[in-house]
């Protein structure tokens, strides 16, 4: 059966099926079993048929959380649960069920831990904090542009609130600039490069990067109907990352939780508020 196995069930399942060591890392340093975040895609026809048959009922279970190894008191209230990923258990053996695995940089960066808890996470494990979540966005966007042919400089390691993270160029864009990889790749041409210290924000649909060399900060704002071609060498003092300690109450909580703020030294910012064709080439 192709089906997800809940994290707390994987180790005992493996031990019961010929893997005496349970869920241990292989020579790569990672678990050989693919993890997922339960993004399920269901075919509507068979799904409606199953709902009619089962009434939407899925087998329940309990997953108690104990205060300590003695298992004599609960850490939190224990409740009946059921898992949406158990849906395939109601299907016939002939049903087609599959899965797709993607690199974590593309699809998984939860933000759930406060800075103090994140700092306690052993080095090499994900922090799942506001800091690591934001850095994951810059990483993903940098790698997407890299795959599209842009020369993106490698990241540097920096520590914020006790968390060592990779700092890539601070690259962001509005969804209208590109949702699919093909769409983004179509808007990049020639020899383009972005330095590690750079910041780039693209806020428009028809912005095209052509033979662009960026070493600093670049902000482009454009309305629908304004086609902007950006190229040439753009170099300025850029936006610097300034560390902020979580305990420093002189700063607002959102910055302390983030672990840094942007010191906007210098940038090239252009706004195109009228339809037409434009070229930005300093």
Q: Please give the pLDDT value at position 25.
A: 87
Give the domain extent around 203: 104-280
Q: Please give the pLDDT value at position 154.
A: 97
How far is residue 83 from each of residues 56, 62, 80, measured CA to CA in Å?
12, 11, 10
For the cut 80, the answer to whether the pLDDT of residue 37 exceeds it is no
- Judge if 153 and 112 occupy the same domain: yes
Q: Please give the pLDDT value at position 34.
A: 73
For the cut 90, the answer to whether the pLDDT of residue 33 exceeds it is no
| Domain contains 95 | no
Contact of 259 with 210, CB cutoff 8 Å: no
- Judge if 27 and 116 occupy the same domain: no
pLDDT in tens, 217-275: 999 999 999 999 999 999 999 999 999 999 999 999 999 999 999 999 999 999 999 99
How far is residue 185 from each of residues 69, 152, 190, 192, 208, measured CA to CA in Å?
53, 14, 11, 12, 10
- Judge if 215 and 160 occupy the same domain: yes
Contact of 183 with 208, CB cutoff 8 Å: no
Average pLDDT, the chain: 93
Q: Please give the pLDDT value at position 101.
A: 79
Q: Please give the pLDDT value at position 150.
A: 98
* C-alpha torsion 81→82→84→89, nearest 10: 160
Q: Which residue has the tokens 């506001």?
A: 130
Number of structural domains, the chain? Answer: 2
**pTM for the whole structure:** 0.78
pLDDT band at 143, cuts 50/70/90? very high
- Judge if 149 and 270 occupy the same domain: yes
- Judge if 123 and 238 occupy the same domain: yes
| Domain contains 2 | no
Closest listed residue to residue 89, CA positions, set 9, 3, 5: 3
The C-alpha atoms of residue 88 and residue 94 are separated, in whole angstroms, by 11
- Percent of the chain with pLDDT strictly greater than 70: 100
- Judge if 115 and 55 occupy the same domain: no
- Judge if 192 and 271 occupy the same domain: yes
pLDDT in tens, 2-11: 888 887 788 8
- Judge if 54 and 112 occupy the same domain: no
3-state secondary structure of 272: strand
Examine the fold and report which residue of 55, 90, 125 is the final residue of a domain before the chain moves on: 90
The C-alpha atoms of residue 152 and residue 139 are separated, in whole angstroms, by 10
For residue 124, count other CB atoms closer than 10 A to its CB.
7
């Amino acid at each position: 059966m192709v089906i997800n196995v809940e994290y707390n069930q994987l180790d005992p399942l493996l031990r019961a099926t010929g893997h005496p060591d349970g869920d241990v890392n292989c020579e790569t340093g990672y678990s050989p079993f693919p993890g997922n975040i339960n993004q399920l895609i269901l075919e509507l026809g068979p799904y409606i048929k199953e709902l009619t048959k089962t009434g939407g009922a899925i087998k329940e279970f309990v997953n108690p959380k104990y205060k300590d190894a003695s298992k004599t008191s609960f850490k939190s209230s224990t409740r009946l649960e059921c898992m949406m990923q158990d849906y395939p258990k109601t299907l016939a053996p002939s049903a087609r069920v599959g899965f797709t695995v993607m690199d974590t940089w593309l699809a998984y960066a939860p933000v759930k831990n406060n800075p103090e808890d994140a700092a306690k996470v052993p080095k090499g494990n994900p922090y799942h904090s506001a800091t690591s979540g934001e850095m994951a966005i810059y990483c993903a966007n940098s790698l997407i542009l890299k795959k599209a042919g842009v020369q993106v400089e490698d990241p540097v390691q920096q520590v914020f609130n006790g968390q060592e993270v990779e700092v890539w160029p601070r690259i962001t864009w509005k969804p209208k600039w590109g949702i699919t990889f093909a769409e983004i790749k179509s808007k990049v041409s020639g020899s383009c490069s972005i330095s590690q210290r750079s910041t780039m924000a693209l806020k428009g649909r028809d912005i095209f990067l052509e033979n662009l060399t960026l070493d600093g900060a670049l902000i482009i704002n454009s309305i629908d109907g304004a086609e902007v071609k950006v190229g040439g060498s753009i170099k300025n003092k850029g936006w610097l990352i300034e560390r902020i300690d979580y305990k420093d109450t002189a700063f607002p909580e959102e910055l302390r939780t983030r672990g840094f703020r942007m010191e906007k030294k210098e940038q090239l910012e252009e706004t195109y508020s009228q339809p037409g064709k434009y070229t930005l080439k300093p």
